[in-house]
Amino acid sequence: MAKITFVNRDGSETVVDARDGLSVMEVAIDNDVDIEAACEGSLACATCHMVVDSDWYDKLDPPSDEEEDMLDLAFGLTRTSRLTCQIRVSGAIDGLRVKLPDE
């Protein structure tokens, strides 16, 4: 189990308890966070893109080459951007903060 904070576009926060093994994208969808996730986690789009809090970015496993390629298509890309379909929930990410991009 991990607690994840989603920072919404309006600055409000959605704090949820997430089950191990799910992707952060699945947790966002299950908790009505405003992401599209068009490819449903198949790493074929960038619509689950979020900006990881800088304190957390280096604690996550690095993005794969495939994820990096998809991130090139994301709007509002930053140095700490990730596709949430590629981040798995575990106790190691307890306290993770991610922000929806402005666009």
CA–chain centroid gap for 53, Å, is 10
Q: Which residue shows structure tokens 């947790």? A: 27
pLDDT, tens digit (0-9, with 9 covering 90-100), for 30-69: 999 999 999 999 999 999 999 999 999 999 999 999 999 9
Helices (H), ranges, 1-103:
24-30, 54-57, 65-71
Q: Per the confidence metrics, is the pTM higher than 0.85?
A: yes
Per-residue pLDDT averaged across 23-36, rounded?
96
Please give the single-letter amino acid code of residue 5.
T
pLDDT, tens digit (0-9, with 9 covering 90-100), for 68-88: 999 999 988 999 999 999 999
Alpha carbon distance 65, 83 (integer Å): 12
Q: Which residue shows structure tokens 């949820």? A: 16
103, pLDDT greater than 80? no
State the pLDDT confidence band at 13, using cuts at 50, 70 and 90.
very high
State the pLDDT confidence band at 102, using cuts at 50, 70 and 90.
confident
90, pLDDT greater than 80? yes
Q: What domains are defined for the chain?
A: 2-99 (3.10.20.30)
